Amino acid sequence: MGNGLRQIGYTTPMKFDLHCHTTASDGALEPRALLQLALERNISHIAITDHDTIAAYDQLEVPPGITVIPGVEFSSQWCRRGIHIVGLNFDPASAAIRQGVARHRKARRERAEKIASRLAKAGVPNPFEGAIAQAGGDHNLGRPHFARHMVACGFVGDESEAFKRYLGNGKVGDIRECWAGPEEVVAWIRAAGGTAVLAHPEKYQLTRTRLTALLTAFRQWGGEGLEVVSGRQLPRVTADLAHWCNRYELRASWGSDFHRPGQPWSDLGNYSTPPANLSTVWQGWFEGC
Ligand code: AMP
Ligand code: FE
Ligand code: FE
Ligand code: ZN
């Protein structure tokens, strides 16, 4: 079946989106609105994977017709590159996850202050206050909040320019030495009973040699999953990632990396067709699947 649909017992169609964001991090929709949209898109299983926070799950009312799987997207770094590790199906009450999230909340706050001071030196007016205004409060600030502020005050034409010139890889506002190392992040997820998934590997722009080194290390740390589809991607990328998944005996995960409506390359539920015949991260999570 196409586009993420799998059939169970020949009757129940299942559609998974295991990577998306809400206002708890840099997404535009409140958790409730996200679940409503997910229902409209016929998603049967969703994981909300906000950056370094599980706040979206606080008092979340789950409407009938959808299964919500605990999720988070932890920031980390490996060989001086920012990488993202998605945690899925963990116990949100576990001390390991709570401590990990708390540690990264503090790291994010300190990082935001550094980013703000560097952007101020580059001439951006009131970057800290501006980012807080964009985030709707002083919580979980990320580079997109700075980018939105820079657009709002006319410092750059759009968010993509903000990343290209100030916030992207190697630019003044790219600070990534603050996160826990990937081995530790994987350990938090596992200690909470969850599955660690390497998110969107194609985004790290690694050479083949470095990608294989990362996958080897990821397995050694206890990582079990690989995101083989992240939003809309070229069939060639999907085929490559399916190959790595098999080669490193990782389980496949997929999702849209949805942040907000109007971005067709990361639209909730509308991701490229995942490869067939891969074992998936959710095998063994539920009865009968
Ligand atoms: P942070 O969590 O502060 O490291 O910011 C990472 C987030 O920034 C990603 O999850 C994306 O939402 C966003 N992002 C990264 N690169 C770009 C880009 N080139 N243009 C727009 N948004 C980006
Ligand atoms: Fe994001
Ligand atoms: Fe990510
Ligand atoms: Zn994401």
* CA nearest ligand 1 atom 13, residue: 144
Residue 251, strand partner residues: 225
pLDDT in tens, 16-40: 999 999 999 999 999 999 999 999 9
Q: Which pTM value belongs to this model?
A: 0.95
The per-residue pLDDT of the chain, averaged, comes to: 94
Please compute the mean of the pLDDT values over residues 156-164 and round it to a whole number: 98
Write down the pLDDT at residue 11.
53
Q: Which residues does 58 contact at the CB level (< 8 Å), separation at least 6?
A: none
Probe residue for ligand 1, chosen from 21, 26, 257 as the CB with the greatest number of ligand atoms within 8 Å: 26
Domain map (residue ranges) of the chain: 2-101+181-266, 105-167
Listed residue (168, 59, 60, 275) closest to 46, CA to CA: 60
84 within ligand 1 shell (Cβ under 6 A): no
If you average pLDDT over residues 246-272, what whole number do you get?
A: 97
Residue 103's pLDDT band, with cuts at 50, 70 and 90, is very high
Ligand closest to CA 114: 1
Do 51 and 185 contact (CB within 8 A), yes or no?
A: no
Domain over 2-101+181-266 is classified CATH 3.30.300.30: no
List, edge to edge, every strand of the sheet that includes 71-78.
71-78, 81-88, 195-198, 225-230, 251-255
pLDDT at 1 over 80: no
Whether residue 31 contacts residue 56, with contact meaning beta carbons closer than 8 Å, is answered with yes
CB 258 within 8 A of CB 17: yes
Question: Could you identify the atom of ligand 1 that is nearest to the CA of residue 143?
Answer: 3
Mean pLDDT of 30-58: 97
Give residue 3's pLDDT: 54
Write the residue with the smallest CA distance to atom 5 of ligand 1: 143
- Counting ligands in written order, which one lies closest to the CA of residue 47? 4
Instruction: Please report, rounded to a whole number, the percentage of residues in the chain having pLDDT higher than 70.
Output: 95
Ligand 1 atom closest to 160 (CA):
20
Q: Residue 288's pLDDT is what?
A: 57
Looking at the CA of 19, name the nearest ligand: 4
Closest residue by Cα to residue 90 from 123, 48, 118:
48
For ion ligand 4, residues whose CB falls within 5 Å: 73, 257
Q: Is the pLDDT of residue 10 over 90?
A: no
pLDDT at 6: 60
Same fold: 2-101+181-266 with 105-167: no
Q: What does the alpha-carbon distance between residue 118 and residue 178 come to, in Å, rounded to a whole number? A: 16
Give the model confidence (pLDDT) of 106-146 as tens digits: 999 999 999 999 999 999 999 999 999 999 998 899 999 99
Of residues 6 and 215, more confidence is placed in 215
Average pLDDT for 70-87: 96
Measured from the CB, is residue 142 less than 6 Å from ligand 1?
yes
**What's residue 160's pLDDT?**
97
Closest ligand 1 atom to Cα of 111: 3
Helices (H) and strands (E) in the chain, counts: 8, 9
201 Cα: distance to centroid of ligand 4 (angstroms): 12
User: Which tens digits make up the pLDDT trace of 239-256?
Assistant: 999 999 999 999 999 999
**Are the C-beta atoms of residues 35 and 23 closer than 8 Å to each other?**
no
Q: How confident is the model at residue 286 (pLDDT cuts 50, 70, 90)?
A: confident
Query: So what's the architecture of 105-167 in CATH?
Result: Orthogonal Bundle (1.10)
Residues 224, 230, 233, 237, Cα dihedral to 10°: -10
DSSP 159-221: HHHHIIIIISTTSTT---TTSPPHHHHHHHHHHTT-EEEE--GGGG---HHHHHHHHHHHHHH
Question: What's the distance, CA 180 to chain centroid?
Answer: 16
Among 29, 76, 163, name the best residue to mutate to test ligand 1's pocket (greatest count of ligand atoms within 8 A of Cβ). 163
Residue 192 has which token pair?
Answer: 């909470």
The mean per-residue pLDDT over the stretch 235-239 comes to: 97
